[in-house]
């Protein structure tokens, strides 16, 4: 059996996640980009209060005991918080072509059906934008390098769903980076 990497299992508000991520030390694995996913199941309706600690522990059992993977995605993001799952400083399992090179962020919802630009979906989107902006700043990543799971050539499903429009999402990440850092981060990335 493959050795399980463990989980962090802690939830943060977006500003708390930013502080948490900026305090991390990167000594071995260093991701080159971020891959954005959606859970599809559960949907927003199936988790009316977002993820709980028990949901996260259930996901750990699913990935470790049923899938027999060594890790899972790095983050689970809902409309209230950002859950750190697989430690961000270790490679995770989330996308066949990108596991060794990218962070994997799962957004709660089925964005083939759930609305992404209003209601709870918009709140999930805002937390996801904040998480991507934070990790772009921490790692010096260009937000344009972010990929959607469906861009993985070894993936056959349309994750994170048709209502997630990549260029609009990336623009929101860049706007937040400029707001937080006065644009200096974007200048460093593009040079």
pLDDT for residue 182: 76
pLDDT for residue 157: 85
Strand bridging mode 102-107 / 33-38: parallel
Q: Is the whole-model pTM more than 0.85?
A: yes
pLDDT for residue 100: 96
| First-residue to last-residue Cα distance in the chain | 45
Q: What is the mean pLDDT of each run of 10 residues along the chain (191 residues)?
A: 89 98 93 97 96 97 96 98 98 96 98 96 98 97 97 93 97 95 53 38
């Amino acid at each position: 059996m493959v050795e399980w990497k463990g989980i962090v299992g802690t939830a943060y508000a977006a500003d708390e996640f930013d502080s948490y991520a900026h305090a991390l030390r990167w000594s071995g694995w260093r991701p080159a980009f971020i891959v954005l996913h959606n859970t599809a199941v559960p949907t927003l309706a199936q988790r009316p209060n977002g993820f709980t600690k028990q949901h996260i522990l259930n996901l750990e059992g699913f990935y470790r005991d049923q899938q027999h993977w060594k890790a899972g995605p790095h983050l689970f993001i809902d409309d209230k918080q950002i859950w750190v799952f697989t430690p961000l400083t270790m490679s995770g399992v989330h996308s066949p072509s990108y596991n060794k090179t990218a962070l994997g962020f799962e957004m709660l919802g089925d964005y083939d059906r759930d609305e992404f630009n209003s209601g709870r979906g918009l709140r999930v989107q805002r937390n996801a934008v904040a998480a991507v902006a934070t990790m772009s700043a921490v790692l010096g990543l260009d937000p344009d390098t972010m990929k959607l799971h469906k861009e993985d050539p070894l993936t056959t499903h349309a994750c994170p769903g048709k209502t997630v429009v990549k260029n609009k999402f990336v623009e929101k990440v860049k706007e937040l980076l400029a707001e937080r850092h006065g644009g200096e981060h974007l200048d460093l990335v593009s040079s």
